[in-house]
């Protein structure tokens, strides 16, 4: 096992897939000579050249369209958005073309494309750069939506996304790029899309968390074990669409309680969907109402103290565990 940051794990995945398949190429703002806004593409332009790692103007709609067309022609583009907030400018191409082309062409055109970049909050980048967009993209049939929380997951899931014949929205978290973890030293290491992972075994309460909130959930779980001898299970879906609801339901049937922690807003969220499906499939097993912890229902503040108040944190998760466990 190698110890890598999430940033370097993603870089390794991209390099290995560029080497493996000559149809793979990367396109986006500052991905080439500048090595990427967050250095995920560091060194790739020097190694693979202008045709495989392509700098673009600040035109998300334009280069997303080029990517969709290239995918329809048989290539495998990886489109980087400097932040997924900017992907909103390319939503027509992602939603109306990439997501629908296989269906509307009666299977004649596959669209093997990955749209990737940082999603959710960063550090004091304010309202227009701090949105969590997973529920938005997961709402549209034809798109797969992936959210890694560890270095190993980042590498394995990205490689699977690039090899997939469907459009994949791959959402990273800017706050997590520097987090380190063990990554298998295997050029062919992949993690299948649509398979959740139990990050921590437990018996008293299930927390379903994703991306940045997985780390928070694990910290809260350790604290509850230490202070109250409460055993918390942490499930990471890893893929939002398709959602591995079976693993989540199995966990809830074991622990009889569910907390969903997410960085996005609560209304019409992935957490709302998980809550509904668990209620539908495991209602008789629940010993407490499902509890959700989400971002504040407001545009993200710029001020550091207000930003911290708006986001999920360990104390909020601990309070929720106490509530559902009647402590």
- Cβ-based burial of 95 (10 A; exposed 0-12, middle 13-18, buried ≥19): middle
Paired tokens of 184: 């298998």
- Which residue of the set 16, 29, 60, 263 is catalytic? 60
Cα–Cα distances (Å) from 18 to 26, 63, 167, in that order, read 9, 19, 18
- Which residue of the set 16, 29, 80, 129 is catalytic? 129
Alpha helices in the chain (DSSP H): 6-20, 44-48, 60-72, 91, 101-104, 134-138, 151-163, 212-228, 245-255, 270-282, 304-310, 314-324
129 is catalytic: yes
Query: Is the CB of residue 196 less than 8 Å from the CB of residue 224?
Result: no
Cα–Cα distances (Å) from 249 to 258, 275, 292, in that order, read 10, 10, 16
97 is catalytic: no
Interacting residues of 201 by C-beta distance below 8 A, sequence separation 6+: 231, 233
Catalytic (active-site) positions? 60, 129
């Amino acid at each position: 096992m190698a110890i890598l940051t999430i940033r370097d794990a993603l870089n390794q995945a991209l390099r290995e897939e560029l080497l493996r398949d000559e149809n793979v190429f990367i396109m986006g703002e500052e991905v080439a000579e500048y090595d990427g806004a967050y250095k995920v593409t560091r060194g790739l332009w020097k190694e693979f050249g202008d045709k495989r790692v392509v700098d673009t103007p600040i035109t998300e709609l334009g280069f997303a369209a080029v990517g969709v067309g290239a995918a329809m022609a048989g290539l495998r583009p990886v489109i980087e958005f400097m932040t997924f907030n900017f992907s909103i400018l390319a939503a027509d191409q992602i939603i109306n073309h990439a997501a629908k082309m296989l269906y509307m062409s009666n299977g004649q055109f596959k669209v093997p494309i990955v749209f990737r970049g940082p999603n959710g909050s960063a550090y004091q980048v304010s309202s227009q750069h701090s949105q969590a967009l997973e529920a938005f993209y997961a709402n549209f049939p034809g798109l797969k939506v992936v959210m890694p929380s560890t270095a190993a997951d980042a590498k394995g899931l990205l490689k699977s996304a690039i090899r997939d014949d469907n459009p994949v929205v791959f959402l990273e978290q800017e706050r997590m790029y520097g987090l380190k973890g063990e990554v298998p030293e295997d050029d062919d290491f992949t993690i299948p899309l649509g398979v959740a992972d139990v990050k921590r075994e437990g018996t008293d309460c299930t927390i379903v968390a994703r991306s940045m909130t997985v780390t928070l959930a694990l910290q809260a779980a350790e604290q509850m074990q230490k202070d109250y001898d409460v055993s918390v299970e942490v499930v990471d879906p890893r893929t939002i669409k398709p959602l591995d609801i079976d693993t989540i339901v199995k966990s809830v049937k074991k622990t009889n309680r569910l907390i969903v922690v997410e960085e996005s807003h609560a209304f019409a969220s992935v957490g709302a969907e998980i809550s509904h499906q668990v209620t539908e499939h495991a209602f008789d097993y629940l010993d407490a109402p499902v509890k959700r912890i989400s971002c504040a229902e407001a545009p993200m503040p710029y001020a550091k103290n207000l930003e911290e108040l708006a986001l999920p944190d360990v104390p909020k998760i601990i309070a929720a565990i106490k509530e559902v466990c009647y402590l």
